[in-house]
A and B are shown apart, each in its own frame.
Chain A
Amino acid sequence: MLEACGANSLEDLFRHLPTEIRLKKPLKLPPNKSEYEILHYFNQLGAQNANRYASFLGAGVYYHYQPALVDAIASRAEFLTSYTPYQAEISQGTLTSVFEFQTMICQLTGMEVANASMYDGSTAMAEAAMMAVRITGRDSIVVAHAVHPEYREVLRTYAKTQGITVRESAYDDSSGRLNLDDLREKVDSATAALIVQSPNFFGVVETLNEAGHVAHAQGALLIHVFTEAVSLGILKPSPETDIVAGELQSFATPPNYGGPFAGVIATRERFIRQLPGRLVGQTVDRHGRRAFCLTLASREQHIRREKATSNICTNQALLALMATVFMTVYGRRGLRELAEQNLAKSRYLARSTAIRFTGPFFNEFVTVPRRKPEIVNQELLEKKIIGGLPLDRWYPELEGCMLLCATEMNRREDMDLVVEALNQ
């Protein structure tokens, strides 16, 4: 091969590089390792982490059972090792599954179009806000204070350089829901969108319809954010919602220490040209047979460059496929039953604890233990239980409170131990 290239050595191929910028010494990295050594290393690191603990953490990342089919299908080389489906004729597998994904997201959210995925829920929310800015021509966003704190931080990072103002609207101290009086004060004729998470960071189901009325009265859009996708199995989508931005980690993706997950944006058909990210559409091939392809690429960076709706290119396709398999496995009845199990577990866990907010909650809730959350959690760790998330880190006014989550993965015995510790 070297001969064909007219070179005597591999080094010859690099002779045109200026010598002063060449690396003169070998990279300081350990020598190569065998498969066995590599797995031994990661197994050891895994053993340094929490293993086989019962966990009551939620807060945007949830423990749900991953049906065996999900990994079996997502591990298939045809899905795992394929590229973005730009070449439609040899990518119909990916394209068809994304079309199904988009359809199921619409069915779940009550929206008319959904994109092929975003990086995660937090960036989906920020991109949804920018989308609303483009649609309305306004440059101010009102976000509920009970939206996931890290999502709000990402929103501020994105908004800052584009001259978008972000204002927060308070939660009602008693219900944990939106404070509608405060909301009416904050949303005005400069507001592009109101962002509300439901169930919110406290697990409380928000009053999306009322929020929508407040937003629409000022000509603003309502963006519904969700972090717990299983809640869609039981909660009614609001007809007032204009854009949905969500996180699908709950649909078969392990917590992965925070990623990779799959975000998604869904919206009304009339906003389709302002949607960021890839979109799969139905068409026909030369023989008139149904086929799918990436469509409306004129929104995207590889066509529109500096005029694109977003710079997003790589998305989270494999995680979206896992969500699609998950939704197919659970289906119409299963997702409802799963949601009902989550509801029942959280109610059992909450039954004799001091609940901070009166608003209805899905599978997580804020509680006020008799002792400091840190002390309760330390005691639970000794029983191989990871307790709730103390909230004072983001909400100083909620010092002494913790956020607890219960899913179908939590067993009654462990919940009894948690309740006991909370009430001591």
Chain B
Amino acid sequence: MTLKARPHITRDESLVFEISSPGKTAFQLPPLDVPTVDPAAALGEDNVRQEIEGFPEISEVEVVRHFTRLSSWNYAIDFGLYPLGSCTMKYNPRVNEVAARVEGLAWAHPYQPIELSQGTLEVMGALESALAEITGMDAVTLQPAAGAHGELTGVLLTRAWLESQGNPRKKVLVPDSAHGTNPATATMAGYQVQNIRSNAYGTVDVEELARTVNEDVAALMLTNPNTLGVFERNIAQIADILHSKGALLYMDGANMNALIGIARPGDFGVDLMHLNLHKTFSTPHGGGGPGSGPVAVKKHLEPFLPIPRLVRRTGGWTLDFDRPQSIGRVRAFYGNFGVFVRALAYIMACGGDGLTKIAMDAVLNANYVRKKLENYYELPHREPTMHECVFSDERQAKHGVRTADIAKRLIDYGFHPYTVSFPLIVPGALMIEPTETESKQELDLFIDALIAIAHEAEQDPEMVRQAPHSTRTSRVDEVSAARKPVVRWKPPA
């Protein structure tokens, strides 16, 4: 097989504090064109600090080399496949980055006059309409900063709507296959979380749901396709059960990549949902953020959306703060605008047909991986696969090799690991989402690597358990990091 990776020289680099030496600088400031001011006189002697103890002092070229060397220790989507399930690590088109840096947009201040902000507001308006069309919903707020923040907004909207009906209710239902953010969000919004068990197919047990939903239930938070990559086929019935008891259906849109142009949540009974622009809509993850988590709702929830609302009036766009039923603000200003520009650029580059093609290719790629690997890894749920598939380490575990070991060994083959040990309903899960980004060649290399590892697990399990072997940093001891946390650098005593 063709190897994706070989070891190469990596450069060592100390922490910036360790290479710092007094007097070095990398900054330039223009000469001051106004009189200098004595800080102690202007601010009061007690308010002025002496110096910033330990702050770095290095030269410009050292700054560049420092961060460039650090960067070389990272894996990234631009190196290859990033098969993280439910994370949708797809290619981040560079035109989006150029668009986001357009001066009139990037340097726009949120409080500049509205008549000098029509360009930024148009971006927001165009994105809101595109997302409403894609989801089949009636209104969209762009304010939430990330998926979990969108969830919080959604549950607060649920509560506000229920309150307007006379009773906020007590519980939010969360399937046991859900992302951890769902139960954490429901708690943050003041609800008790009731976990509901999945059936043998890994989907919602409709009969159990019907027995569980009562007047105490505010909403069900459902991911569809779920975290097994299985579409909840009874979705319309699930929605009916909730609606008949006055509860709402919230959809976690993390897996929307499987559905764009195929089916719309607004057409199958969803009342409200969030999207992740940093997943489905190609904005870069940046090592953990920024994201953006717009929330799309049906008409009945629209009055409760966060303030301000973007409205089009004769003469142009404006912001409406007069919304008496609004849940209030969930964030200062209007959301992660720079991420909106990137997502809108992506939607424009794809067009409606292109977005549909994306869902199709993403589903094809996941099905291909599943088919090619199902003889080597246990597939606990055999329902049709959408955009991701979930294996278990059952066969390899017999040799003492667990999903985390297989993941680390995958690094030696030049790939980022899949999502490890999630969803929780599959013991020892390997959760794989290839996305539409990958070619057959890349997928074949990945498949070959996992097949090779399956053999290694039988023949040389200890070698797999010690992986990775080719990286600059070998297996990291996470246990002792948590036992005695060292979370900042300190000068040697």
Asked if A257 and B148 sit within 8 Å, CB to CB, the answer is no
CA distance A26 to B264 in the complex (A): 11
Q: Given that A16-B231, A81-B78, A411-B33 are known contacts, is A150 also in contact with B278, CB under 8 Å in the complex?
A: no
The answer to the question of A417 belonging to the interface, with a C-beta cut-off of 8 Å to chain B, is no
Least distance between A96 CB and chain B CB atoms (Å): 5
For the complex with contacts A17-B262, A256-B108, A317-B287, 17 further pairs of A-B residues with Cβ separation under 8 Å are A23-B261, A42-B105, A49-B117, A49-B120, A60-B333, A76-B67, A83-B77, A96-B13, A114-B487, A122-B331, A255-B108, A257-B333, A278-B288, A293-B476, A314-B289, A343-B39, A386-B112
Asked if B148 and A255 sit within 8 Å, CB to CB, the answer is no
Asked if B110 and A61 sit within 8 Å, CB to CB, the answer is yes
**One of B151-159, B240-248, B448-456 contacting the partner:** B151-159
Which residues of chain A have C-beta atoms less than 8 A from B104's C-beta? 45-51
Asked if B43 and A161 sit within 8 Å, CB to CB, the answer is no
Q: Given that A57-B109, A120-B145 are known contacts, is A26 also in contact with B77, CB under 8 Å in the complex?
A: no
Asked if A80 and B286 sit within 8 Å, CB to CB, the answer is yes
The answer to the question of A356 belonging to the interface, with a C-beta cut-off of 8 Å to chain B, is no
Q: Given that A93-B71, A234-B43 are known contacts, is A21 also in contact with B352, CB under 8 Å in the complex?
A: no
Asked if B352 and A28 sit within 8 Å, CB to CB, the answer is yes
The answer to the question of A113 belonging to the interface, with a C-beta cut-off of 8 Å to chain B, is yes
Asked if A328 and B287 sit within 8 Å, CB to CB, the answer is no
Complex interface residues of chain A between 44 and 96 (CB less than 8 A to chain B): 44-51, 53, 55, 57, 59-61, 63, 67, 69, 71-85, 87-94, 96
B30-60 CB contact bits vs A (8 Å, 1 = yes)?
A: 1011111101001110111111111111101
Most buried by B among A14, A89, A157: A89
The answer to the question of A117 belonging to the interface, with a C-beta cut-off of 8 Å to chain B, is yes
Least distance between B346 CB and chain A CB atoms (Å): 9
Asked if A29 and B352 sit within 8 Å, CB to CB, the answer is yes
CA distance A103 to B152 in the complex (A): 30
CA distance A30 to B333 in the complex (A): 29
> Which one of A1, A49, A60, A305 contacts B105 once the chains associate, using CB atoms below 8 Å?
A49
Which residues of chain B have C-beta atoms less than 8 A from A217's C-beta? none
The answer to the question of B66 belonging to the interface, with a C-beta cut-off of 8 Å to chain A, is yes
Asked if A317 and B289 sit within 8 Å, CB to CB, the answer is yes
Residue of A with least CB distance to B326:
A157
Asked if B475 and A258 sit within 8 Å, CB to CB, the answer is no
Which residues of chain A have C-beta atoms less than 8 A from B349's C-beta? 32-33, 35, 38
CA distance A90 to B341 in the complex (A): 30
CA distance A57 to B107 in the complex (A): 12
> Which one of A41, A53, A257, A308 contacts B334 once the chains associate, using CB atoms below 8 Å?
A257
CA distance A46 to B345 in the complex (A): 14
Asked if A283 and B356 sit within 8 Å, CB to CB, the answer is no
Asked if B27 and A338 sit within 8 Å, CB to CB, the answer is yes
Which residues of chain A have C-beta atoms less than 8 A from B110's C-beta? 61, 255, 257-258
The answer to the question of B324 belonging to the interface, with a C-beta cut-off of 8 Å to chain A, is no
**One of B207-215, B391-399, B464-472 contacting the partner:** B464-472
Asked if B348 and A38 sit within 8 Å, CB to CB, the answer is yes
Q: Given that A83-B87, A163-B190 are known contacts, is A344 also in contact with B37, CB under 8 Å in the complex?
A: yes
Least distance between B245 CB and chain A CB atoms (Å): 21
B358-383 CB contact bits vs A (8 Å, 1 = yes)?
A: 00110111011001100000000000
Q: Given that A22-B262, A77-B76 are known contacts, is A63 also in contact with B109, CB under 8 Å in the complex?
A: yes
CA distance A313 to B179 in the complex (A): 10
Which residues of chain A have C-beta atoms less than 8 A from B183's C-beta? 301, 305-306
The answer to the question of B236 belonging to the interface, with a C-beta cut-off of 8 Å to chain A, is yes
CA distance A334 to B20 in the complex (A): 14
The answer to the question of B322 belonging to the interface, with a C-beta cut-off of 8 Å to chain A, is no
Asked if A90 and B75 sit within 8 Å, CB to CB, the answer is yes
Asked if A30 and B109 sit within 8 Å, CB to CB, the answer is no
Which residues of chain A have C-beta atoms less than 8 A from B27's C-beta? 67, 329-331, 333-334, 337-338
Asked if A5 and B367 sit within 8 Å, CB to CB, the answer is yes
Q: Given that A281-B487, A329-B60 are known contacts, is A317 also in contact with B73, CB under 8 Å in the complex?
A: no
CA distance A73 to B68 in the complex (A): 7
> Which one of B185, B261, B361 contacts A26 once the chains associate, using CB atoms below 8 Å?
B261
Asked if B284 and A331 sit within 8 Å, CB to CB, the answer is no
Asked if A153 and B289 sit within 8 Å, CB to CB, the answer is no
Least distance between A231 CB and chain B CB atoms (Å): 10
Asked if B57 and A293 sit within 8 Å, CB to CB, the answer is no
Residue of A with least CB distance to B334:
A258
Q: Given that A61-B109, A77-B76, A150-B332 are known contacts, is A89 also in contact with B471, CB under 8 Å in the complex?
A: yes
Least distance between B487 CB and chain A CB atoms (Å): 5
Which residues of chain A have C-beta atoms less than 8 A from B480's C-beta? 283-284
The answer to the question of A280 belonging to the interface, with a C-beta cut-off of 8 Å to chain B, is yes
Least distance between B278 CB and chain A CB atoms (Å): 7
Asked if A333 and B267 sit within 8 Å, CB to CB, the answer is no
> Which one of A14, A272, A286, A312 contacts B148 once the chains associate, using CB atoms below 8 Å?
A312
CA distance A90 to B71 in the complex (A): 10
CA distance A162 to B156 in the complex (A): 11
The answer to the question of A370 belonging to the interface, with a C-beta cut-off of 8 Å to chain B, is no
CA distance A71 to B134 in the complex (A): 33
Q: Given that A29-B133, A45-B122 are known contacts, is A82 also in contact with B75, CB under 8 Å in the complex?
A: yes
CA distance A333 to B55 in the complex (A): 9
> Which one of B147, B193, B351, B356 contacts A31 once the chains associate, using CB atoms below 8 Å?
B351
Q: Given that A93-B72, A258-B333 are known contacts, is A35 also in contact with B267, CB under 8 Å in the complex?
A: no
The answer to the question of A137 belonging to the interface, with a C-beta cut-off of 8 Å to chain B, is no
